[in-house]
Amino acid sequence: IRVGKILKAWEHPEAEKLYCEEVDVGEEKPRQIASGLRPFYKLEDMQNQTVLVLCNLKARSLVGFPSHGMVMCASNDDHTKVEFAVPPEGAKIGERVVFDGFVGEPEVENKVAKKKIFEKIAPDLKTDDKGNVIYKGSFGKVGSEPCRAKLGMPNAHVA
C-alpha cells in the first residue's frame, strides 16, 4: 500500500459505477486504475485527491479499461457509505504504508494473485473506533502518523 495522488479522473464510458483514473504512486509514469466510486463521489472530488493505493495487484481489464491497482476506501457493512483511505498530512507520493509488527518486502503481483493474499488479509484490514486504518490491531502508518478514513468512518472495512 502506497501513497498516491489522483491526477486525472473521468467516467468510464461503458460502466455506470466506474471511474477511470491516472494515479501517481511515485513511479516513472502514473498508473491507470478503475474504481467503483461513482455512486459515492462526484468527479470533481476525485481530482487531486491524495489516497492510499494497493499497488501489488496484477493489472487486469475492468470493462475494457486496463486497471493496475486499487484505490483503498473504508466502507460500512452494507456498502452504502464509502470514504477514501488517506495518508497523514505531509505524506509524500510513493511512500509505503507500514503496520507495526508486520515487516518485510511486499509480495510480487503474480504471487498476490495466485495465493489470494489480499483476500486473506482483507477481513482484518479495517478502521478502528476513531477511523484509523488498522490491520490486526496495528496502525497503518506513513512515518509515525496513522492513515485514516477521510472523514473518520469508525469500524469500517478497508479495501
Tell me: the pLDDT tens digits for 104-137? 777 666 666 666 777 878 899 999 999 999 999 9
Q: How far is CA 105 from CA 15, 54, 78, 97, in A?
A: 35, 14, 33, 12
Per-residue pLDDT tens digits for 55-101: 988 888 888 898 999 999 999 999 999 999 999 999 999 999 999 88
Distance CA(101)–CA(20), nearest Å, equals 35
The dihedrals phi and psi of 86, each to the nearest 5 degrees, come to -125, 155
Distance CA 89, CA 47 (A): 17
Cell of 126: 479495517
Indicate the burial class of 78 (C-beta count within 10 angstroms; 0-12, 13-18, 19 or more): exposed
| Helix-strand-coil split of the chain, %, nearest 5 | 10, 40, 50
Q: Which pLDDT does position 111 carry in this prediction?
A: 62
Rounded to whole angstroms, the Cα distance separating 139 from 87 reads 12
pLDDT of the residue at 116: 73
